[in-house]
Amino acid sequence: MGQLLSPPGPRAAHLCIDMQRLFEPGAPWATPWMDRVLPRIIKLAQHAPERTVFTRFIPPRSKHDARGIWRAYYEKWECVTRERLDPELIELVPALAACVPPAAIVDRPIYNAFGNGRLQAHLDAHGIDTVIVSGGETDVCVLATVLAAIDIGYRVIVAEDALCSSSDQSHDALLQLYAERFSIQIEVASTADILRMWILDD
């Protein structure tokens, strides 16, 4: 769909959104094509594990701990609150967990991975100005995180074939939106092109 305007550069990081067991086949929030995109996400993570950050979506302990409209959300999804959920499902899928360390993990309880300040603090501490985004879901947590990254001022590169969603229609629409409506602020490229152009320092 797209292409990189220039190499990611020496201050780029791979930001992988919520590749947790909670979204695997058979889990409460199973995401179609997670297994299909996983090999490409592994390649991105293994290319620069010390520059990879995995985010995890952490549900509240109970629905009563959720704030505002989130409480109604967890009325429906009470099965994923931490008092009911198998804690193993919050963990990264094993193939990516193997990259930690040197890869980092940043947790938060909302869609936007920058929402509690921890992710930006981590990226700032490492001098990051560009984020290469993979993971899921394209139209929920990835969308919220990408828009927040733009607002902060990061260069955003979306790995178009390393994203997954529960909706083919909205996934396709979002990729088109990323490439067209946000063409100055978001670059959309294949994992192969990103890896080919992402030259690491010695």
What strands lie across the sheet with 52-57, from one edge to the other? 104-108, 52-57, 12-17, 130-136, 155-164, 186-189
For residue 118, pLDDT over 80 is answered with yes
For 141-170, write each residue's pLDDT tens digit: 999 999 999 999 999 999 999 999 888 888
Tell me the CA distances in angstroms from 182 to 3, 87, 174, 186, one per residue in order.
Answer: 14, 37, 11, 6
Instruction: Compute the distance between CA of residue 93 and CA of residue 102 in angstroms, rounded to an integer.
Output: 16
Instruction: Compute the distance between CA of residue 201 and CA of residue 143 in angstroms, rounded to an integer.
Output: 30
For 175-186, write each residue's pLDDT tens digit: 988 888 898 899
For residue 201, pLDDT over 80 is answered with no
Q: For residue 2, what pLDDT is reported?
A: 62
Report long-range pairs for 116-122 (Cβ below 8 Å, ≥24 apart). 119/15, 119/53, 119/55, 120/152, 122/53
| C-beta separation of 142 from 133 below 8 A | yes
Secondary structure class of 9 (helix, strand, coil): coil
For 55-109, write each residue's pLDDT tens digit: 999 999 999 999 999 999 999 999 999 999 999 999 999 999 999 999 999 999 9
Tracing tokens 């930690």 back to the chain, one arrives at 100
Instruction: Compute the distance between CA of residue 128 and CA of residue 54 in angstroms, rounded to an integer.
Output: 15
Provide the pLDDT confidence category of residue 29 given band limits of 50, 70 and 90: very high
Instruction: Compute the distance between CA of residue 96 and CA of residue 42 in angstroms, rounded to an integer.
Output: 7
For 33-52, write each residue's pLDDT tens digit: 899 999 999 999 999 999 99
